[in-house]
Amino acid sequence: MTQIVLRTERLILRKMAIDDADNLLEIFADPKAMEYYPSTKNEKQTLQWIDWTLGNYENHGVGLWIAEHKQTGEFLGQCGIVPQEVEGASEMEIGYLFKRPVWGNGYATEAAAACKCYGFESLNLKKIVSLPDAKNLPSRKVAERIGMTLEKNIYKRGKEIAFYTVYR
């Protein structure tokens, strides 16, 4: 059963399920989409990702959700709220990964803005972060478009990360 979490003007964000593996692979097998991740992912790693996401729903009540086009039902990508540890502190991050053919339509910004409102209004969070690779300009622009501010650059797993925050 489809569990819708959020609706925006053009999108539906719904819970992820095992059946999403093939669609997710379109993102994970694309070297360009995975440029700022350690590597592309194969089918097995995609299933592990879904498992991790379902665990986040269970343990934290949030996680990455599937973004679909409201009118056509087309799979577009994933966006949601993910618990992260940053310099020893627990943070809630807005994460977004969309398939390449739909980049440049504002979908990631639309989805991320809805997640921000959900985090503040429904989850009562006080702070939400975004953690793009410092070189990942499209991702940094999404964070900036939803009103996040660059707090500092940090190092995580040997990579320079732009630490963006927004407060309620």
Ligand X SMILES: CC(C)(COP(=O)(O)OP(=O)(O)OC[C@H]1O[C@@H](n2cnc3c(N)ncnc32)[C@H](O)[C@@H]1OP(=O)(O)O)[C@@H](O)C(=O)NCCC(=O)NCCS
Of 136 and 165, which CB lies nearer to ligand X in the complex structure?
136
CB distance 59 to 48 below 8 Å: no
- Core vs surface per residue 46-67: b (16+ CB within 10 A) or e: beebbeebeebbeeeebbbbbb
Q: Is 97 in the site for ligand X (CB under 6 A)?
A: yes
CB distance 37 to 136 below 8 Å: no
* Ranges within 13-52 binding ligand X (CB under 6 A): 33, 36
User: Which stretch in 15-23, 90-98, 118-126, 152-160 sits in contact with ligand X by CB under 6 A?
Assistant: 90-98
- Distance from C-alpha of 66 to C-alpha of 44, rounded to nearest angstrom: 19
To ligand X, the closest distance from the beta carbon of 9 in angstroms equals: 9
Of 1 and 142, which CB lies nearer to ligand X in the complex structure?
142
Task: Give the binding site for ligand X (CB under 6 A).
Answer: 33, 36, 96-98, 103-109, 132, 136, 138-139, 141-142
